A and B are shown apart, each in its own frame.
Chain A
Amino acid sequence: MTEPAAESPTAIAARQGWMRVLARAGLDELAGALAACPALPDHLVLRGPQTGLVMLRGRAGGGGAAFNLGEMTVTRCTVRSAGGQIGHASIAGRDGARAELAARIDAALQDPSLHEVFTARLVAPLRAAQEARTAADARRAAATQVQFFTMATMRS
């Protein structure tokens, strides 16, 4: 298989893509999807799982000046798998087990011999489920949308 160089922009984007899917998946979903995959390699925890706060910043209004929206609880974990890959995960909430599992899967996805099977059997189904959920939410929200027209628009 053709693995792009680890630091190339496409490789970074691909890794961000699967890390995002892993971060959004619940512990049950991850464990369920893992049942279809080969066993994860042994691992050593390098850091965490540790929970901390991250300041979320937002922009509103015409000026677009950033303001502090609020703090969010985030748990992160870093592991080294038996193959030497370093896996990271940062997830919302305080579930250390979930962060550690996501980090282990991130490490496995960087292993060329495991990348394809984990992508096909774990990342792809989770991504599809998450996209379906997002689309369903968007449809529900769209039904409640109110369109505002100005007088100028209505006259024309």
Chain B
Amino acid sequence: MDVSLQILASGLTLGAMYAISTAGLALVFGAMKMLNMSHGAILALGGYLSYFALTGLGLPAPVGITFAVLVCAAVGVVIYHIVARPMLQSDNFETRIFIATIGVGVILESIILEAFGPQPKPQPVSVPGSLMWGGVYLPYQNLMILGVAVLIMAALGFALQKTRIGRAIRATAQNRDAAQLMGVRIGGVYALVLAISGGLAAVSGITISSLSSLLPNMGADPMLKAFIICVVAGLGSVPGSVIAALFIGVFEAVVQYIFGVRFSFALLLILVILVLIWRPHGVFGRVQGVRL
């Protein structure tokens, strides 16, 4: 029983971290058909900005986190205006933006390297201590990550389903031209989507670095996992990606315990292949039509 709880706790923590980093990626793809390869670098930027705000500027944690989220959201808006918008009408937008955002990611990572140096740094946003429950030690940090993930996903779901701007985002995702004819300002929606994605990446960077450390390339692994989760869920499906993230987190933890850590990634990839054979558009994906 102790071990099962320990594995479940580890899996849910992993899944929660994956969910936060995946949601932003799925949102942008769902709305714009844009696979933002700089998502990992924005994630790292968020972690570093939080570090800078707390240790460099001496700001309290809530203010520092808000600062990081706002700056990363602004980076998302800048990416839209400088990189995505000029390509929107071009042929093969999906391919071009894929390549272009790889470049953005490299630039952001280099800026982080120059600004903060290559040495790993501890993330100051952390909750020390742990809770003993059912014979298992649950660190408050892990519980906080789980709580933050639930809150953010609930807020995102509410915003997409129940608010005016959420409807505009979903309408744009369904049919850009029709949404435009209905008076939706497409440019504003896209900029907003990238801003939300940037903000989510910042939160993701802060939570991930609180369980590892800050490194300029820290976004690479979460980006890879987020991409895998998006593919499993169906590119563009936000609720699906959250469910897939939690499932994959628990799957990894179980495989690591039963078969060994080294098998977890390999078995994960086998799972992805099986899913894509079974449902080529992902578990929650659709061939056409509404996403988000």
| A and B bind | no
Residues of chain A having any CB pair with chain B under 8 Å: none
Residues of chain B having any CB pair with chain A under 8 Å: none
